[in-house]
Structure 1
């Protein structure tokens, strides 16, 4: 069972003011676990829906398009000019996504592995 509260605590501790949003995607639905003050909810929801579509396409390609020789898709990172968007899938459902400022990306794989360990106990 995912540890949502522990993930939010880890994100807040390690990314501080850089944390923008954290969402849970489950069975086509989307729920904000965190949205920083000052971030427009409608705009954030629209961006999150588009990023969810992007993640689904990537996941489908990775799982069915010949990338399985490298193991299962464990996370997705999208690097934009002003932020990083990270997605962490569970083995089934749900999938978690969060956005942070660029300063967090200095040691990305360690950060992702720590988030997965916190969330899924891996």
Structure 2
């Protein structure tokens, strides 16, 4: 019985740690870190919406590169633009205007580190 209680406590501790690891967007897995990364960036989405309303749609994810559509909820077209995220280089690029000449974006790298840690934990 004692071992069952210890095992239960271990499971509870593991669940608590994983919840803390994804507190940026509870219940959304690693996606929450991507969202916060883009929200923290200098992408000009603030011309259209506020950070809390910005959402991402993962268009392509090959494990090394992600193509993300930025949008917000509206009655019309809420598409703001596109970014690419290089997982290995931890680099974020604005590809909205010209995908052949992407613009490097500045962002809070804590979210890139948290995203990488989240992927490793899976």
Q: TM-score range by the shorter chain?
A: 0.3 to 0.5
Q: Which of structures 1 and 2 has the bigger CA Rg? A: 2
Task: Name the TM-score, length of structure 2 as normaliser.
Answer: 0.32
Q: Indicate the structure with greater helix content.
A: 1
Larger RCO, structures 1/2 (Cα 8 Å, 6+ apart):
1
